[in-house]
Chains A and B, each alone.
Chain A
Amino acid sequence: MHRFASPARFLRLAGAVQPWLAAGTLLCLAGGLGLALFGSPPDYQQGESVRIMYVHVPAAWMALFVYACIALASASLLVWRHPLAGLFAKASAPLGAGFTFLALASGALWGKPMWGTWWVWDARLTSVLILFFLYLGLIALTNAFESPERGQRASAVLALVGVVNLPIIKFSVDWWNTLHQPASVSRLGTPAIDPAMLWPLLAMAAAFMFYYFWLAILRVRSELIDARLRALHRLQTEGR
């Protein structure tokens, strides 16, 4: 990892992989949307409303995945003090918040016709709402300090504390009674989902994954330029 931790190397690497990530996003999105809207059958119980799944489930997966990435980056910021790790966490937080919001909103849109309600205060929905607030807290805390480094370290501590929420979200459907259905793709053994529905789901998930890394890298580049701007400003005011 150290080899990629230098900003100069990162920028070279970023320039090389970004077009591929963008292409991957668009390709998987085109294939995923085609399969999700045209190529997959309606559910025998849920009818056409099952198509919400192809937005809802990948968004919810990414909500957890992005948080896990932020937690890893936060740990390496606090332990090894990689400056890029702090920037990566900072760049990721709004993306994670976006995915979490999308999971909550599409879940409400799915819950209304299927459960008869937009929202229930059960463990799964509540813990994901807490995840959304955690993301907002990370964003606010990162920007709450005069020095960007202190903001990143403070929000890294919050990110690590919030990790406790991830297993709660994952296992909430097994530990507590809920309207929410349990996992059907990542079950041990064979997934309890038909291939005709699994493929569009995986294609959309791949699209979201490409999208996340594409935007995260773009946003880290942006943060690096901001750091340089700040350094030059400091220099300019000191030079007077």
Chain B
Amino acid sequence: MEQFLAMGGYGGYVWPSYLLGALVLGGLYLVSRGELRRRERRLRALESRLESGGGRARRRGEHEHGGVAR
């Protein structure tokens, strides 16, 4: 095990590069998914607010912009 971690003396270079890979790819995934969830929440909130408030505006909006995110 220790021998495996040492990577023939190159452990200090090999492991940081794998760790960086995990951080970059994992980080981009978490940021992207977080942003998607946040926007979905905001859309749901806004849609329900429009539904209770301006029913006419919403229907018109769907007609005009319905293709955008459906």
Task: List A residues at the B interface (Cβ < 8 Å).
Answer: 6-8, 11, 37, 42, 47-49, 51-52, 55-56, 59, 94-95, 98-99, 101-102, 105-106, 109-110, 112-113, 208, 211, 215, 218-219, 221-222, 224-229, 231-233, 235-236, 239
Contact = CB atoms under 8 A, between A and B. Distances in A.
A215 B35 CA distance: 12
Contact of A102 (B10, B21, B35, B65): B21
A211 to B, nearest CB: 6
Nearest to B60: A235
A110 B9 CA distance: 13
B50 A236 contact: yes
29 contacts: A6-B67, A7-B67, A8-B67, A42-B8, A47-B9, A47-B10, A48-B14, A51-B10, A51-B14, A55-B20, A94-B28, A98-B24, A101-B24, A102-B21, A105-B17, A105-B20, A109-B14, A208-B25, A211-B25, A215-B29, A219-B36, A224-B69, A226-B39, A229-B42, A231-B65, A232-B43, A232-B47, A236-B50, A236-B57
A239 B7 contact: no
A221 B36 contact: yes
A238 B35 CA distance: 26
A8 B70 contact: yes
Contacts of B58: 235
A11 B70 CA distance: 7
A218 B36 contact: yes
